A and B are shown apart, each in its own frame.
Chain A
Amino acid sequence: MTAKRTLKDLIAGKAMFLITAGCGVLVLVMALGLLIRAWPIMQIKPLHELLFSVSWSPMKGDFGMLPFIMGTLWVTGIAIVIAVPISLLTSIYLSEFALSRIRELSRPFIDLLAGIPSVIYGIWGVIVIVPLVKGRLAPLFGVSSTGYSVLAAGIVLSIMIFPVIIHITMEVFQAVPAGLREASLSLGATQWQTVKHVVLRRSLPGIIAANVLGFSRAFGETMAVLMVAGNITKIPGSVFDPGYPLPALIANNYGEMMSIPLYDSALMMSALVLFVVVIFFNVISRYILHRIRLRIS
């Protein structure tokens, strides 16, 4: 009886270990897979041509990804510019000024935003943001725009990354010891002075990490962006121009016209670029946040 129980225990333990290890290894396997599939085009074309050429015509064998990289940067940049101040101020308010009842009440709503499927953000973007850009924002600057633009995509994205940034920033603020705030308050500093000189200064690495995490989420977000960005292969000249971000390129084209030589490999290459950038920023920001958590415990 006992022998049987220990055997079960042993098997369960080993099995769970293997599954866990398998999940961890998966990241490496995916990276390797992308690399192998992207290899053919990297053999033929120099890397700088792939990354920095503006000419993308698969039929002619031109695979310059710059328009897509720029599309992604525009969209992500706009999202960050909108999201950083708003989410920072929200976090400061909720963590430092709001009564705990308001904080506890609004937290689930903010976290809920993170759980909404991105296709719904996309539809909402098409119904609300695109007409807003077309009918209000663009005319304000005397520009005509279809509304399908990097600005529309940036706005939708910024709303998608709020919850990520707010959640983590609040966690970072919570890691600032109460005694430190009291030290500042007891000197006669106001709440705002305390936030500005003590809480923010102490939290700076964590705030950066939270925003970088938001950035990397925005960088790789596909569905919502694809629906509102316009998807025209051209480097955007202004926020009202359409753009064609990398994830949208892959999602729109993979599986079609695969008979074109090197097309598959080019798409894999762009997936690899996306993968590397997102993983890189994720690892850095998670490392910083890990250090901050160590400091609390």
Chain B
Amino acid sequence: MQTNPHVRVHDLSVSYGSTPALNRISVDIPEKQITAVIGPSGCGKSTLLRAMNRLLENSDGVSLSGSILIDNENIYDPGRDVTEIRKKMGLLSQKPYPLPMSIFENVAYGPRIHGMKKKNEMAETVRHYLTISGLWEEVKDRLHEPASRLSIGQQQRLCLARGLAVEPEIILADEPTSALDPKSSQKIEAEFKHLKNRYTIIIVTHILRQARRLADYVLFMYLGELVEHGPAAQIFENPQHEMTKEYIRGIIS
């Protein structure tokens, strides 16, 4: 079960102004598996995720200490190119945010800013990633319509395709199904299972059953602390910590 760690979080603390959000988190996240971060809302799950692709520093008054190693390099080393770090990770947010352009251009956006120029190469790339995200058949005849015309479930899969098109190693998903209907959620979950052979997937979720369905590895967080982490079977069947037991049984939520 244990594989190489892909992301190593070491002694990570984050605070917004004077409000602490994460308190000295240390954890290794395994490669090419699905890691679910669970815990009640406001426990710091999203903050942890956003720390990993350095989106936190865009907000005001955030202070951060500790390190996050991806492929054994600290992403918070001064002098690291933040765009290169972010390119390694595809982000899927709670609500899909299609860019204000066509379906095709949404997927082409990433490759284009990273220098892809050839037209047929681009067309092939777009087709490829729309196929992977399970959207190709639904949109192949209207690639040049604005992305905003898609249903919200389709938009989320478009965002997945867009993220995959920059060829990341890691997929960060922040409650990716919370705005979706059950059918669309199911599709996204199926995609994740499909993709985990090739990508390290970290999914934040407050839906316990979703974590059970998907996760190989689980982090349980509570009020900015990492309470417990381990292989999914262990966390769900035999949690060590009292708080984890209560959360899994639904006493706290």
Contacts and interface: CB of A to CB of B under 8 A. Distances in A.
Nearest to A184: B99
A284 interface: no
B172 to A, nearest CB: 8
Nearest to A193: B113
Interface in B60-108: 60, 83-84, 86-87, 89-91, 93, 95, 97, 99-101
A190 B81 CA distance: 10
A186 interface: yes
Interface residues of A, number: 20
B184 to A, nearest CB: 18
A189 B83 contact: yes
B53 A186 contact: yes
A183 B114 contact: no
B247 interface: no
A6 B55 CA distance: 56
A201 B102 CA distance: 12
A167 interface: no
Given A197-B109, A198-B99, A198-B100, A188 B86 contact: yes
Contacts of A197: 99, 101, 109, 113
Nearest to B87: A188
A128 to B, nearest CB: 38
A99 B100 CA distance: 26
Contacts of B230: none
B163 A186 contact: yes
A155 B221 CA distance: 59
Interface of B: 53, 55, 58, 60, 83-84, 86-87, 89-91, 93, 95, 97, 99-101, 109-110, 113-114, 159, 162-163, 166, 172
Interface of A: 99-100, 177, 179-190, 193, 197-198, 201-202
A-B residue pairs, 10 tightest by C-beta: A188-B87, A186-B91, A187-B110, A183-B97, A188-B83, A202-B100, A179-B97, A100-B60, A180-B97, A188-B86
